[in-house]
Structure 1
């Protein structure tokens, strides 16, 4: 048993650190460490830079690439005796190399495989099929699988080597001092940087506070939670600020879109109104032209008749010029002189000029009448960034009103007016208003009223102290702030919907309408009517009155 144990111990000393088997044709490097000849040749073949220094797989000592490997004759003799003593076949010493030289294609395939699995660190000592590394030796600068790590750890002179988790050449370079090439084993508290022993002894860190990397690691672990929490707090603040900026960006885009739509609708409405009024004025001009031409043609016909009569008299007198008989001459001249001649009327362009001047004045008044509400509306009611109007969905307040039926969303006439009653008088002297259940005393608000089923109504705002409303009757639209008509009524055939905008801060009320019948295909484009200032008397309700048909809230 003792002999077997001695043989086993001897065998452990004869193991190559590369192939993990008994030496075969052992050769030695300049550092004194021995390896199988074929193992070193394989390592040299896989060495990517043949002209650079070659490191010993055990101690990491660098030297020139060994062009000729010198046999370790003494170690070979020991191996022979070991095989002969332990009944191993002597021929095993001289057997063919365990590893054939790899062709260029095989090397290329291995490099390609390594590139594909670059995230996995492989053992530097495995020759044929590299196994995943479990540790990297910082001293040897080599990564080892579990089998080669076990062999590495059994060597007493390798016990002081620093082992870390598997890492590649880039990480290995970061763990060494760029100035001295030594391991970064110390930490400079003064400069907050990892340094090597030479940096502590000779460089600018000589007089600084130095601790070990392990001690600095323990302190960093203690500081980690606080640092992480600080960064998370900062991250949350940045995220909140970013969300605010994104929300602000959205508001800017929404505001720009609102401005754009508002102005486009306003100017489109102006163009539509101008086109409509243009057609009316051109029609009036055409009628005046036809009337004037008719009168002119009558005058031309009369003048032609007068011309024919005068021309006949002139010819008769010309013929009478050569008459020698006194009696005939006197009779002929007397006959021409006795004929009645009407005075030629004086027709010039005064009447036409006065007519055109009157038309120019009418056109100016028309343009002012059309553009003034839009100008005031564009200036006063462009949406602001501070506050956007809130769309209010109103309901009618229940009340007892003679001839009316009041529901939550519908206000209609159930008792028609007597046909002999003066309708304007009734409309302008309605003894009641129907109020909304909601009231307003701050902010900006707007609501809509469907008016297509009534031809006489009033819509506005008010309380016990004042009323401001727009009135529609007999196709005429007027605005009454506090009971006073501020503009001349203008005619509109039918109104489908009214929009009321209340700005409590500016103390203004704006009225707009949508014309056209429902389902007629016209787009719902609001046309401004007027913007008026109201007295400071809050709260106010939306107010409604109807003389025929019904009003409804959408």
Structure 2
């Protein structure tokens, strides 16, 4: 702090006298510049105007120090140069001798040099103001009062931040040249450079505890018996250790990345497996709904037809008995009229006609012999069906069975010469069609995987985006099952039996083949990217013979297949 106190020491402390300022010395540019530097206010960077001195001995323009006093919110005031804290002065003492020297300097040298210096400082301020408008959260100069400019350096010894103009003044002082300048740092960064216990600069490094300490920590704390070196020596050792540390961190980063990739892959596998399970369940219930709906319609239609037949027979009998009722009512009306007939001939003739009419005997309880109902569903049958359905629900495994294993297959070498085969890519050569016809394998799967499967649950995925004519499935010496794609039409075969045939609405670029040796099934899924965003799309599940081992099988007529 003693060096900082000499930055702008009052001219009276330096023993400058007016008698020593001669016109010959002022005529020398270097001497003029040096003297003008001494007569410059550290705050406004101009020649002193009504200079006053503080108790620490430093001098400032009266207006500049008054503005500094107004900006200080604390009861104690710190000198802008040396940070010496004192009670704010009630009255500023003018430095008459310094004012006379400044006046003599101005009268002798004229206004040219002072105006030039002021213009230089003004240009620097304008440049700083332009640059400050383009930066956020800048560290501001501690000496600028009215319009603080961004600091370009921070002096660790003075613990002050300096703009370019104040830095120039700071750097010209011989007593301040040993101060350490760093990039602009705010109070928080400066606080990190001081010991929290003693408030001193962290100038030492404790090797025992691997921590930066101050000088007092080395002699008056728990570090007094530890191995202590300077920060500069610790910096050199740290520079030597840096490559090794960097390599170690990079290695750890690679390990973390691998672990993260594995976890992300596991996350994707879980989501995919869950999508497949959900898809199976949805397909199962969709098929159940479809079959139940179809069967329900058939049964209801049968019941309606039986009801119509029964009602038709009953309606016919009702119509017959209504006609008989009308005939009987007509006979009664004639008999009532005949009761008053006095003419023997007419009475006898009329009664004879009525008696001659045929009246079939009516049963005590009329009924129609109806056909047997087409469907009989009693309570016993209904309960039996519900019991079977409940058993089916219970048979669904909720125990969380193991997931299928993703098999990364490789192609087995082929001796037919009709394919170019790598470990993971199968390509058709120019003689594909002729060789296929020659070997008679147009409807077979001539290339199979090295791996074979006899138990468990497995799946593999194949990129089919580079071919439009391919076959994927499994093969055994006694049978083969595959999905065949020709353009946009796909078919599923078990040996020569066609299981299904459909038209694909979009191109199938990625296919999953799933083999479940436990249930003896092979399932084909479309997991192309455009579809995978929604869910895996089941193409077909086929029940296959329980004959093992089986191999994954492949065939193309053009282009290439790639195993994933």
* Partners of 1:461 and 1:167 in 2: CA distance: 70
Match of 1:40 among 65, 72, 77: 65
Shift in Å, 1:29 = 1.3
Kindly indicate whether residue 495 of structure 2 is the aligned counterpart of residue 506 of structure 1: no
Residue equivalent to 2:90? 67
Kindly indicate whether residue 261 of structure 2 is the aligned counterpart of residue 239 of structure 1: no
* Partners of 2:236 and 2:79 in 1: CA distance: 34
Alignment map for 1:269-348 (pairs within 5 Å): 269-293=287-311
Query: Secondary structure at 1:230's aligned position in 2?
Result: helix
Query: Secondary structure at 2:52's aligned position in 1?
Result: strand
Shift in Å, 1:224 = 2.5
Given the superposition, is the C-alpha separation of residues 194 and 389 from structure 1 closer, same or farther in structure 2, using an over 3 Å criterion? Answer: closer
Residue equivalent to 1:201? 219
Aligned length, in residue pairs: 421
* Partners of 1:537 and 1:171 in 2: CA distance: 72
* Partners of 1:464 and 1:388 in 2: CA distance: 24
Shift in Å, 1:357 = 7.3
- Is contact 1:135–1:144 with CA below 8 Å preserved after alignment? yes
- Is contact 1:187–1:212 with CA below 8 Å preserved after alignment? yes
Kindly indicate whether residue 284 of structure 2 is the aligned counterpart of residue 266 of structure 1: yes
* Partners of 2:461 and 2:45 in 1: CA distance: 90
* Partners of 1:79 and 1:467 in 2: CA distance: 109
Given the superposition, is the C-alpha separation of residues 467 and 355 from structure 1 closer, same or farther in structure 2, using an over 3 Å criterion? Answer: farther
Residue equivalent to 2:546? 535
Shift in Å, 1:74 = 3.8
Match of 2:53 among 21, 25, 28: 28
Query: Secondary structure at 1:534's aligned position in 2?
Result: coil
* Partners of 1:182 and 1:282 in 2: CA distance: 97
Shift in Å, 1:273 = 1.5
- Is contact 1:26–1:35 with CA below 8 Å preserved after alignment? yes
Residue equivalent to 2:79? 55
TM-score in terms of structure 1 length: 0.55
Query: Secondary structure at 2:229's aligned position in 1?
Result: strand
* Partners of 2:503 and 2:364 in 1: CA distance: 56
Kindly indicate whether residue 25 of structure 2 is the aligned counterpart of residue 4 of structure 1: yes
* Partners of 2:48 and 2:380 in 1: CA distance: 120
Shift in Å, 1:384 = 7.1
Shift in Å, 1:79 = 4.6
Given the superposition, is the C-alpha separation of residues 142 and 356 from structure 1 closer, same or farther in structure 2, using an over 3 Å criterion? Answer: same
Query: Secondary structure at 1:166's aligned position in 2?
Result: coil
- Is contact 1:435–1:541 with CA below 8 Å preserved after alignment? no
Shift in Å, 1:532 = 4.8
Query: Secondary structure at 2:241's aligned position in 1?
Result: helix
Shift in Å, 1:277 = 1.5
Alignment map for 1:350-365 (pairs within 5 Å): 355=373
Given the superposition, is the C-alpha separation of residues 438 and 273 from structure 1 closer, same or farther in structure 2, using an over 3 Å criterion? Answer: farther
Shift in Å, 1:202 = 1.9
* Partners of 2:316 and 2:145 in 1: CA distance: 124
Shift in Å, 1:234 = 2.5
Given the superposition, is the C-alpha separation of residues 377 and 78 from structure 1 closer, same or farther in structure 2, using an over 3 Å criterion? Answer: same
Kindly indicate whether residue 192 of structure 2 is the aligned counterpart of residue 178 of structure 1: no
For residues 175-200 of structure 1, give each alpha carbon's deviation from its aligned partner in whole angstroms, at most 9, with x where no partner exists.
Answer: 22233322222222223222222222
Given the superposition, is the C-alpha separation of residues 278 and 83 from structure 1 closer, same or farther in structure 2, using an over 3 Å criterion? Answer: closer
Given the superposition, is the C-alpha separation of residues 144 and 305 from structure 1 closer, same or farther in structure 2, using an over 3 Å criterion? Answer: closer
Consecutive unaligned residues in structure 2, runs of 5 or more: 1-21, 119-127, 328-354, 409-415, 417-431, 434-441, 463-472, 483-493, 505-511, 525-536, 554-564
The alignment yields a C-alpha RMSD, in angstroms, of 6.2
Given the superposition, is the C-alpha separation of residues 355 and 361 from structure 1 closer, same or farther in structure 2, using an over 3 Å criterion? Answer: farther
Deviates more, 1:161-170 or 1:497-506: 497-506
Match of 2:235 among 194, 209, 217: 217
* Partners of 2:73 and 2:248 in 1: CA distance: 47
* Partners of 1:296 and 1:389 in 2: CA distance: 70
* Partners of 1:209 and 1:172 in 2: CA distance: 26
- Is contact 1:17–1:151 with CA below 8 Å preserved after alignment? no
* Partners of 2:389 and 2:407 in 1: CA distance: 24
Query: Secondary structure at 1:236's aligned position in 2?
Result: helix
Given the superposition, is the C-alpha separation of residues 81 and 345 from structure 1 closer, same or farther in structure 2, using an over 3 Å criterion? Answer: closer
Query: Secondary structure at 1:124's aligned position in 2?
Result: coil
Query: Secondary structure at 1:503's aligned position in 2?
Result: strand
For residues 485-520 of structure 1, give each alpha carbon's deviation from its aligned partner in whole angstroms, at most 9, with x where no partner exists.
Answer: xxxxxxxxx9755999873622614699xxxxxxxx
Given the superposition, is the C-alpha separation of residues 242 and 283 from structure 1 closer, same or farther in structure 2, using an over 3 Å criterion? Answer: same
Shift in Å, 1:70 = 0.9
For residues 231-258 of structure 1, give each alpha carbon's deviation from its aligned partner in whole angstroms, at most 9, with x where no partner exists.
Answer: 2333333333333333333333333333
* Partners of 1:6 and 1:533 in 2: CA distance: 112
Given the superposition, is the C-alpha separation of residues 283 and 158 from structure 1 closer, same or farther in structure 2, using an over 3 Å criterion? Answer: closer
* Partners of 1:375 and 1:178 in 2: CA distance: 70
* Partners of 1:55 and 1:271 in 2: CA distance: 90
Shift in Å, 1:168 = 2.3
Alignment map for 1:390-429 (pairs within 5 Å): none
Residue equivalent to 2:266? 248
Consecutive unaligned residues in structure 1, runs of 5 or more: 99-109, 310-335, 391-396, 398-406, 409-432, 448-459, 470-480, 483-493, 513-524, 543-554
Kindly indicate whether residue 187 of structure 2 is the aligned counterpart of residue 169 of structure 1: yes
- Is contact 1:259–1:383 with CA below 8 Å preserved after alignment? no
* Partners of 1:21 and 1:498 in 2: CA distance: 89
* Partners of 1:526 and 1:363 in 2: CA distance: 35
